[in-house]
Each structure stands twice: as structure tokens, then as C-alpha cells.
């Protein structure tokens, strides 16, 4: 198995059903971070429960990619990527994949875990003939934007928005 150059104890493995609680915790913690950055953000109660299980099921289907990163045997992060009509603006690309979720637990950040997860997804899809990987990120998530910049992602489509009420 490929190891990241800067963290020897890190491994990427397939998702197991018992990882579900970890994925929920991490997803909800990231949502809280997003809400702290932007209190206007609407995250309806029970959102994780409605969204995650079905998204996990999709990722376990054909052409999905769901992996957990472990650092010294401890779950540290996960990535969930899909293919198909997940991003209409990418339809001009014949073979594209989309990162739906990428989360690294706070105490494992800045150790190369996120990079390892993204590079694993890239390698997975590249080997299967895919030619484009994309994702969405909140504009105010400057940490993740710097991360994706370091990973070589550039802007390809912008959502614009404006408040209709003060």
C-alpha cells in the first residue's frame, strides 16, 4: 500500500459498517465549523441522518469511492466520491468524478491525511479512465481553499449569491 511521505503511520482503507458513527461525528463537527464561520448557514435539524446514510449507500455502489484514513490505527478522516450526474456543469466532461465529502478530524490535520485521501481518490479514478475530478467548497472556508489550491485544484465554476433580505 502506498504511504504518504510525511506520515508513516497513515493508512487508507475501505469503509466498514462500523465506521458509520465516526463518519457522522466528523461530518457533524465540520457542519458546526461551517456554521461558526457563517451563522446564516441553514443546516436543518437531522440533516446528517437524512443525507449521510443514503450518500454512503451511493458511494458503496458501482464507481463510488469511500475510504477511511487511519493514523496509528485510529480513524482520522474520510473521503467520499461519486461519479455520474452529480454536477451538471461538468457534463461536458465525459468521465468525471466528484468529491462529495472530505473531512479530517481536527487533531489529525496538517499531517498529510487530507492529501493522502484526495490523492487516493485521484489515483483510483485515473486508473479507471476518468479524466476530471471536481468538488464544491464554501467560499468562506479559507483553510479548505488553501488546501485544495495546494492539491492543484483550480476554479472551474462559481456559484454566486446575494441576500434578498438584510
Ligand X SMILES: CC(C)(COP(=O)(O)OP(=O)(O)OC[C@H]1O[C@@H](n2cnc3c(N)ncnc32)[C@H](O)[C@@H]1OP(=O)(O)O)[C@@H](O)C(=O)NCCC(=O)NCCS
Contacting positions for ligand X (CB under 6 A)? 30, 33, 102-104, 109-115, 135, 137, 141, 143-144, 146-147, 150
Q: Give the whole-angstrom CA distance, residue 140 versus residue 143.
A: 9
Q: Which three three-digit cell numbers place residue 164?
A: 434578498
Q: Give the nearest distance from C-beta 71 to ligand X in angstroms.
A: 10
16 vs 110, beta carbon nearer ligand X: 110
Q: Give the nearest distance from C-beta 164 to ligand X in angstroms.
A: 26
Task: Please state at what angle helix 47-60 crosses helix 20-37, rounded to 10 degrees.
Answer: 130
* 40 close to 19: Cβ distance less than 8 angstroms: no
3 vs 94, beta carbon nearer ligand X: 3
Q: Give the nearest distance from C-beta 122 to ligand X in angstroms.
A: 13
Name the closest residue to ligand X (Cβ).
114
58 vs 113, beta carbon nearer ligand X: 113
- DSSP line for the chain: ----TT-TTEEEEE--GGGHHHHHHHHHHHHHHHHHH-TT----TTHHHHHHHHHHHHHHSTT-EEEEEEETTEEEEEEEEEESTT-GGGTTSSSEEEEEEEEE-GGGTTSSHHHHHHHHHHHHHHHTT--EEEE---TT-HHHHHHHHHTT-----------S--
Q: Give the nearest distance from C-beta 46 to ligand X in angstroms.
A: 20
41 vs 94, beta carbon nearer ligand X: 41
78 vs 125, beta carbon nearer ligand X: 78
Q: Give the nearest distance from C-beta 146 to ligand X in angstroms.
A: 3
Amino acid at each position: 500500500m502506498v504511504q504518504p511521505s510525511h506520515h508513516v503511520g497513515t493508512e487508507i482503507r475501505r469503509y466498514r459498517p462500523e465506521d458509520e458513527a465516526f463518519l457522522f461525528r466528523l461530518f457533524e463537527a465540520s457542519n458546526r465549523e461551517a456554521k461558526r464561520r457563517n451563522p446564516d448557514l441553514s443546516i436543518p435539524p437531522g440533516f446528517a441522518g437524512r443525507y449521510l446514510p443514503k450518500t454512503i449507500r451511493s458511494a458503496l455502489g458501482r464507481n463510488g469511492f469511500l475510504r477511511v484514513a487511519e493514523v496509528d490505527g485510529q480513524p482520522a478522516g474520510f473521503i467520499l466520491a461519486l461519479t455520474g450526474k452529480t454536477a451538471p456543469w461538468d457534463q461536458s466532461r465525459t468521465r468525471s468524478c466528484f468529491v462529495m465529502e472530505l473531512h479530517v478530524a481536527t487533531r489529525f490535520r496538517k499531517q498529510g491525511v487530507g492529501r493522502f485521501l484526495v490523492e487516493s481518490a485521484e489515483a483510483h479514478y485515473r486508473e479507471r479512465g476518468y479524466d476530471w475530478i471536481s468538488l464544491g467548497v464554501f467560499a468562506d472556508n479559507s483553510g479548505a481553499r488553501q488546501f485544495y489550491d495546494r492539491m492543484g485544484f483550480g476554479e472551474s465554476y462559481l456559484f454566486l449569491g446575494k441576500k434578498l433580505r438584510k
